[in-house]
């Protein structure tokens, strides 16, 4: 039975343009957490840590603060290591696109044959697929060395970069630059 004059309650399926614009928006949101490169490589902010505990504290705070920058650095090192393995590079780019569309940029649940697939299943399937395909390309040692180099670069930078000039928001930045209050008045007359 049809009912004329009613407003449909279900929305029409999203178009490819809607998906692309949402994906661009989410990529921009993710990249917005990237810190300025000038702040990351400010030469005046580097110094030796006072000890092991100071180095560990610096690594924790810098990794938290420069998280997106460090991810970009590791991905660039990985990309550069795969330039001499073109098949692996193609597989890597295809896998990155699959990860982006199936896991990171997906707003709505994934349905296959009318069944909803959970994020955990997508994560496990994509991880197994990534490992299997990269094993088949024969570039695993190259990838492991690139990841090791990226990790060494990140830890070295994070350990030697001081954290006293890192501000998470504008309120914290202005709070650090407010001059301290004057010392309390002792009650004696000023001369």
**Other residues' Cβ atoms within 10 Å of the Cβ of residue 47:** 11
The three-state secondary structure class of 111 is: strand
Contact at 8 Å (CB) between 109 and 116? yes
What phi and psi, each to the nearest 5 degrees, are found at residue 162?
Answer: -70, 155
Mean pLDDT of the region 36-50: 88
Chain mean pLDDT for the chain: 78
Confidence (pLDDT) at 177: 47
Residue 181 has pLDDT above 70, yes or no: no
pLDDT band at 6 (very low <50, low <70, confident <90, very high): low
What is the Cα Rg of the chain in Å? 25
Contact at 8 Å (CB) between 85 and 142? yes
pLDDT 10s digits, 64-76: 888 888 888 888 8
Which of 161, 172, 145 has its CA nearest to residue 70? Answer: 161
CA dihedral 56, 58, 61, 67 (to 10 degrees): -90
Which of 75, 60, 76, 79 has its CA nearest to residue 155? Answer: 60
Which residue's entry shows tokens 């940029």?
105
Residue positions counted in the chain: 191
Residue 136 has pLDDT above 50, yes or no: yes
Contact at 8 Å (CB) between 65 and 35? yes
């Amino acid at each position: 039975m049809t009912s004329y004059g009613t407003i449909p309650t279900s929305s029409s399926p999203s178009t490819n343009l809607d998906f692309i614009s949402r994906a661009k928006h989410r990529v921009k949101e993710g990249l917005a957490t990237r810190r300025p490169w000038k702040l990351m490589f400010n030469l005046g902010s580097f110094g030796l840590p006072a000890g092991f505990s100071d180095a560990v504290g610096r690594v924790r705070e810098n990794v938290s603060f420069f998280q997106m920058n460090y991810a970009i650095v590791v991905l660039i090192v990985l990309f550069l290591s795969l330039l001499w393995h073109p098949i692996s590079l193609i597989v890597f780019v295809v896998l990155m696109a699959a990860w982006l569309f199936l896991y990171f940029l997906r707003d709505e649940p994934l349905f296959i044959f009318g069944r909803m697939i959970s994020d955990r299943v997508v994560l496990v399937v994509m991880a197994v697929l990534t490992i299997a395909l990269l094993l088949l390309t024969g570039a695993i040692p190259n990838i492991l060395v690139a990841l090791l180099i990226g990790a060494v670069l990140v830890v070295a930078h994070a350990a030697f970069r001081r954290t006293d000039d890192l501000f998470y928001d504008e309120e914290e930045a202005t709070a650090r630059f407010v001059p301290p209050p004057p010392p309390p008045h002792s009650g004696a007359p000023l001369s």
